[in-house]
Amino acid sequence: MAAPESGDGNNGAARMVTLISSDNTRFEVEAAAASLSQTLQLTILDGGGGGGDGIPLPNVDSATLSKVLEYCIKHAPAAANGGAPNATAVDRAELERFDNEFVNIDQSVLYSLIMAAHNLEIEGLQSLVAKKVADMIKGKSPMEIRRTLGFPDPTPEEQAEMNAHMLEYGWAYE
Amino acid sequence: MAILVAATVVAVAGGGGGTGRRSFRLIGLFFYYRPTRLTASVYSSDSGDWVDSVATLFVPSTISFIQSPSTLVGNAIYWLLNDAKTIIQFDLESQSLASVEQPRRGRGHADVDRRRHAFPDHSRLIVPADNGYFGLAILSERSIKFWERETQLSGAATWLLRRTVQLDRVLADLELEEQTSPLRIVGFAEENNVIFVSADDCIFMIHVESMQFKKVKIEISHRRLNAMTRRRRHPLPENDDLLAEILLCLPPHPSSLPHAGLVCKRWRRLIIDPHFVRRFSARHQTPPLLGFFRTLDDEAQSRLPASQFSLRGWRGRMPTLNWTLFDCRHRLVLYGFAPKFRITEFVVTNPMTGHRRRILNTEHDDRVVAAAVVAAEGEISFHRSFRLVVLLSPD
């Protein structure tokens, strides 16, 4: 797998941990990157994930996990600086550019990603995807929201209920 | 018989008894003949009663209807009378009424007495001043003068001209220098401290503190459904925590939560949950700038589609023609329903959540001449306490 480009600290042997996806793919990453996950951080602090052991993640498939780790590796240096108060504007702009591109992906991947971020407790990633989904539905009518998010077409009962609530609210709705 | 000349709504801090419902007050101003005078009446959402204030303000002439929306500065509500001479002040704490004379126009001013009395004055606006008191913004030709009320050591209060803003540069920057019709102040967003000025068919806004200017795009078009979105998609995971995270990111526009609430039962349950509503309010502490309105001579103008403020479907299906938009403040909008020129009921609504409260105007067999709404500081909630101020005037 791709090594992180940002080798700034160069403290020789950064501690590595191994994560195992639900489909048994092994990912080796720096402990600092994996620690963006609150869930993993505790295990890693306890000395887990080192050597040949690896930390099994039964809820996350390899496609999703590689995406999650891409985010973690990119954000780890800034997170290590404690929210990076001394980060330059260039660094922040670069992260923002990365984030924007990062969520420019297929909806199914987006949903797996937010679920994984939620389970692994990676706050930044969760907000990033939440914001993206919110942007997809903002300004849309209830029906458009349903279609955008892949809800099945409403049953006649659901439709009747929507109409009743719509009347109650009085909002325009096509 | 008295005539309601103005009404306003105010939220009350700590009201609602911890139920998450915020109490509010509705304040009405009433006008009486012989002698010509104004009184105020306050409706409290907690008690559900109207209470007449003891304050009486004698006025020199008949007040028929106050067209300008009220402005809340500090703890007082201000109305600008159409005579371009008087400001009416109602102090919410002491419940006292007072009138304040506007700055006199200097000699040689071309705009003296333009016979615009029958219409809202499009050149004047009450704004908060730097010193915490109220001030007055006066637009003439291509400049805006900002006046401040200052109390001297002797106790006498005078008007001081604080600043004159020339608009020529601004109009040039906004590529509006070619405009031919006179500039008009068309609205004021109190909480954002933004003045809206119209020039021909274009509107620009002025942020009072920073003196920044921006053109306003008025949107009236409806977003069309993109055929792409019809494709069946992978469904969103059914997790309420995640759903909350997503919906918290929605912009606090009037349509956001009501639309989300119509998507399905699970979503509806979430958006009416008081805990979620509190989080949403906390996330969006600064109310969004939705637009502005003028009473009577202009229609409500908004940066959002007008249909989002539609009164269609309200209980009883009252004809829209009989509704008057009185005031908006603190995320609350105040309407009056007036079949046959008499306000029979007020409706205070929160456009962001769709919550509404009806207040029957049975106490006062009067004609409303003005009304305003006010919410208290500190507490953030979508269910607001408010006060309504109503001004009355006889037939």
The pTM of the full predicted model, rounded to 2 decimals, is: 0.49
CA A119 to chain B, closest CA, distance in angstroms equals 10
Q: Is a pLDDT exceeding 80 seen at residue B292?
A: no
Query: Around B93, how many Cα atoms within 13 Å sit in the side-chain half-sphere?
Result: 6
Q: What is the pLDDT of residue A52?
A: 65
Cβ-count burial of B31 within 10 angstroms (0-12 exposed, 13-18 middle, 19+ buried)? buried
Which of A134, A168, A172 lies at the smallest CB-CB distance from B249? A134
What residues form DSSP beta bridges with B50? Answer: B43
Q: Is a pLDDT exceeding 50 seen at residue B227?
A: no
Which of A108, A126, A162 lies at the smallest CB-CB distance from B262? A162
Domain locations in chain A as residue ranges: 16-138, 142-174
Q: What is the pLDDT of residue B295?
A: 45
CB–CB contacts below 8 A, A to B: 118
Chain B hits for A160, Cβ within 8 Å? none
Position B252 confidence tier, pLDDT thresholds 50, 70, 90: confident
The backbone torsions φ and ψ at residue A10, rounded to the nearest 5 degrees and listed phi first, read: 50, 40
Chain A hits for B253, Cβ within 8 Å? 138-139
Question: How confident is the model over B18-39, as pLDDT tens digits?
Answer: 444 556 778 888 877 777 788 8
Longest dimension (CA), chain A: 66
CA A21 to chain B, closest CA, distance in angstroms equals 19
Q: What is the pLDDT of residue A123?
A: 92
Query: Around A119, how many Cα atoms within 13 Å sit in the side-chain half-sphere?
Result: 14
What residues form DSSP beta bridges with B157? Answer: B151
Q: What is the pLDDT of residue B306?
A: 43
Q: What is the pLDDT of residue B321?
A: 53
CA A136 to chain B, closest CA, distance in angstroms equals 10
CA A100 to chain B, closest CA, distance in angstroms equals 16
Report yes or no: B42 and B51 within 8 Å, Cβ to Cβ: yes
CA distance B279 to B264: 21
Query: Around B291, how many Cα atoms within 13 Å sit in the side-chain half-sphere?
Result: 21
Listed residue (B331, B335, B326, B347) closest to B379, CA to CA: B331
Q: What is the pLDDT of residue A33?
A: 92
CA distance B130 to B133: 7
Q: What is the pLDDT of residue B261?
A: 83
Cβ-count burial of A25 within 10 angstroms (0-12 exposed, 13-18 middle, 19+ buried)? middle
Structure tokens given for A114: 């937010």
Question: How confident is the model over B350-393, as pLDDT tens digits?
Answer: 666 666 677 877 666 555 667 777 765 434 444 445 666 666 55
What residues form DSSP beta bridges with A26? Answer: A20
Which of B51-55, B108-112, B136-140, B333-337 shows the highest mean pLDDT?
B136-140
The backbone torsions φ and ψ at residue A17, rounded to the nearest 5 degrees and listed phi first, read: -130, 160
Q: Which residues of A touch B (CB under 8 A)?
A: 107-108, 111, 114-115, 118, 126-127, 130-131, 133-135, 137-151, 154, 158, 161-162, 165-174
* Cβ separation A142–B305 shorter than 8 A: no
Q: Is a pLDDT exceeding 50 seen at residue B233?
A: no
Longest dimension (CA), chain B: 75
Which of B233, B253, B314 lies at the smallest CB-CB distance from A170? B314
Mean pLDDT of chain B: 69
Of residues B103 and B22, more confidently modeled:
B103
CA distance B157 to B150: 5
Domain locations in chain B as residue ranges: 3-109+116-222+286-393, 234-285
Q: What is the pLDDT of residue B307?
A: 43
* Cβ separation A172–B268 shorter than 8 A: no
Q: Is a pLDDT exceeding 80 seen at residue B57?
A: yes
Chain B hits for A135, Cβ within 8 Å? 249
Of residues B162 and B19, more confidently modeled:
B162
Position A71 confidence tier, pLDDT thresholds 50, 70, 90: very high
Domain A16-138, what fold?
Potassium Channel Kv1.1; Chain A (3.30.710)
Structure tokens given for B215: 């053109």
Q: What is the pLDDT of residue A149?
A: 84
Q: What is the pLDDT of residue B388?
A: 62
What is the Cα B140 distance to its own chain's centre?
Answer: 24
Q: What is the pLDDT of residue A132?
A: 93
* Cβ separation B246–A130 shorter than 8 A: yes
Q: At what angle do helices A123-137 and B240-248 cross, to 10 degrees?
A: 70
Question: How confident is the model over A121-149, as pLDDT tens digits?
Answer: 999 999 999 999 999 998 888 888 888 88
Position B119 confidence tier, pLDDT thresholds 50, 70, 90: very low
Q: Is a pLDDT exceeding 80 seen at residue B220?
A: no
Mean pLDDT of chain A: 80
Lowest mean pLDDT among A110-114, B41-45, B171-175, B341-345: B341-345
CA distance A32 to B111: 70
Position A101 confidence tier, pLDDT thresholds 50, 70, 90: very high
Q: What is the pLDDT of residue B14?
A: 45
Which of A25-34, B62-71, B75-84, B354-363 shows the highest mean pLDDT?
A25-34
Q: What is the pLDDT of residue B299?
A: 41
B305: nearest CA partner in chain A: A172
